[in-house]
Structure 1
Amino acid sequence: MSGLFSEFMIRAALAGLGVAVAAPFLGVFVVWRRMAYFGDATAHAAVMGVALSLMLHLPVYLGVAGVAVIMALSVAAMESGRPGLGADSLLGVLSHGALAIGLIAVSFLPGARLNLEAYLFGDILAVSWGDVGVIWGGAAAIIAVIGWRWRALLTATVNPDLAWSSGMNPDRDRRILTLALALLVALAIKVVGALLITALLVIPAAAARPFARSPEAMLGFGVAVGGVAALGGLGLSYGLDSPAGPSIVAVAVALFALGRMALVWRRVE
């Protein structure tokens, strides 16, 4: 039991909670706007950011954030002006194309293949106190920005025409959302990895949605689900010696499934 409370586990728990608290602030909009593929495209581009960081000897957070921002803004621009191509097709091409190019780039870097699994699935047990500080600083920035634009984002999500008529700018708020999403990708790369980041965005918010009667309640439930998933996943990883990132996502999926079962049981009664 003492190993569960050792310093590296405490750092991992704080890092996981930082991402789990911030993710639902974006996840609720990803679910409402059906932007899961958008999150995938941005997250998969993170692998290119990792390759760039290693090549230029930059901090991984910096390279991932830069590439994720470029991808997020590019996807948003191409989606708004696409010539007859469906949004899901466009995002699918960009998502898997970015991942493939990133994996090829990483494969050419000496020694990078040894760390590839950590970038894809996370290495939360290896985070430092500096990483914890970066994650919580970024999480605070995401929460502050989304809190500042909460009403505008809600209005633009429910009724863009109403947002325009009320003097708001839905396009600007969409760019804010995409930039915040890129920041979250950079923060989460060490926690769950590029392939599982979207799961932390979607699953807690989706699990909370049936039980919430207001957007704020959905956000609160989502934060709770994310926090339980982060801590429960770490406990599962410690007990079963399983990968921490996938374990966190597995617990989130289990909570989602339990929630759906509770809803079905309630209807049967």
Structure 2
Amino acid sequence: MMLDDFMTRAALGGIGTALAAAPLGCFVVWRRMAYFGDATAHAAILGVALSLALAMPIFAGALVIALVMATSVTLLSGRGYAMDTLLGVMAHSALAFGLVAVSFLEGIQLDLMAYLFGDILSVSRGDLGVIWSGAALVVGLVAWRWSALLTATLNPDLARAAGIDPRREELVLTLALAVVVAVAIKVVGVLLITAMLIIPAATARPFARTPEAMAVIAAGIGMAAAWGGLLVSYRLDTPTGPTIVAVVASLFALATLGGRLLRAS
């Protein structure tokens, strides 16, 4: 059957991850939340250690820890520390504690590089179910709250006047971000998740006239990068997760250069 082909499963996993990350990545770019995404993603390695220690699915542990981290950052913001300082401390501390926790796991075969940089070629049917379920949840959640999220992002005061609680919408983004992190671990790993959130959205920005168009274009760019990175990795025998990110970074560079040339002409 088609899903017995590991390349097909890898491609479907990458496309599902791109679909989950694209609309959320637009809000990360608009809100300048890149470091927030890093902090949540880095914390996921602690979730991996928790999952292995308790013999539970990796997705579950990563999701729980990502939620805890994202919610903690949201609640602690504005409590006496600059946001970039708080995120820097929590991001690197979470990654360090996660790596230390992993070192205490005895009798468990663990490929740490696979969790740090992804192992898309080993995506199973069960992983595909998790990835696409997570993508459907994120896309559905963002679509449901799209208008409120957009209003809260553009003007919190206007959102309050319209009866929208900006804090609540921030928590919605927090939940969606935690799901994306848990879904993307298998594909690009905890160190590269933020790249798949930010770069497709940043690449789409110059070509989009509306926020909705930016989300759709970002999804297309992310899916193209996942497919193209998989093919390049297969041809050149390079690590697949980093290759996917390298491809989308190249698309960003081309889009930026092309935009400047058009403006200059």
- Normalised-by-shorter TM-score class: over 0.9
CA spacing shift, 1:55–1:226, aligned 2, 3 Å: same
Q: Do the aligned residues in 1 keep the contact of 2:25 with 2:197 (CA within 8 Å)?
A: yes
Task: Please state whether the residue corresponding to 2:226 is helix, strand or coil.
Answer: helix
- Which of 134, 140, 144 is matched with 2:136 structurally? 140
Q: Could you tell me which residue of structure 2 aligns to residue 180 of structure 1? A: 176
One-letter amino acid of the counterpart of residue 79, structure 2: R
Q: Could you tell me which residue of structure 1 aligns to residue 105 of structure 2? A: 109
Q: Do the aligned residues in 1 keep the contact of 2:43 with 2:69 (CA within 8 Å)?
A: yes
> Any gaps of 5 or more consecutive residues in structure 2?
none
Q: After TM superposition, which residue ranges in structure 1, 4 or more long, deviate above 3 angstroms? A: 111-114
* 1:168 partnered with 2:200: no
Q: Deviations over 1:25-77 (max 9, x none)?
A: 11000000000000000000000000000000000000000000000000000
Q: Do the aligned residues in 1 keep the contact of 2:40 with 2:70 (CA within 8 Å)?
A: yes
Whole-angstrom CA distance in 2 between matches of 1:111 and 1:211: 51
CA spacing shift, 1:105–1:150, aligned 2, 3 Å: same
Q: Could you tell me which residue of structure 1 aligns to residue 79 of structure 2? A: 82
Q: Could you tell me which residue of structure 2 aligns to residue 44 of structure 1? A: 42
Whole-angstrom CA distance in 2 between matches of 1:150 and 1:112: 43
Whole-angstrom CA distance in 2 between matches of 1:65 and 1:98: 14
1:6 deviates by 7.1
1:268 deviates by 1.9
Whole-angstrom CA distance in 1 between matches of 2:107 and 2:186: 18
Matched residues, number: 263
Identity among equivalent pairs (%): 60
Q: Could you tell me which residue of structure 2 aligns to residue 59 of structure 1? A: 57
Q: Do the aligned residues in 2 keep the contact of 1:107 with 1:113 (CA within 8 Å)?
A: no
CA spacing shift, 1:71–1:239, aligned 2, 3 Å: same
* 1:249 partnered with 2:245: yes
One-letter amino acid of the counterpart of residue 133, structure 2: G
Whole-angstrom CA distance in 1 between matches of 2:98 and 2:109: 12
Task: Please state whether the residue corresponding to 1:225 is helix, strand or coil.
Answer: helix
1:82 deviates by 1.7
- Which of 184, 208, 215 is matched with 2:211 structurally? 215
> Any gaps of 5 or more consecutive residues in structure 1?
none
Q: Cα RMSD (Å) of the superposition?
A: 1.2
Q: How does 1:185-264 map onto structure 2 within 5 Å?
A: 185-264=181-260
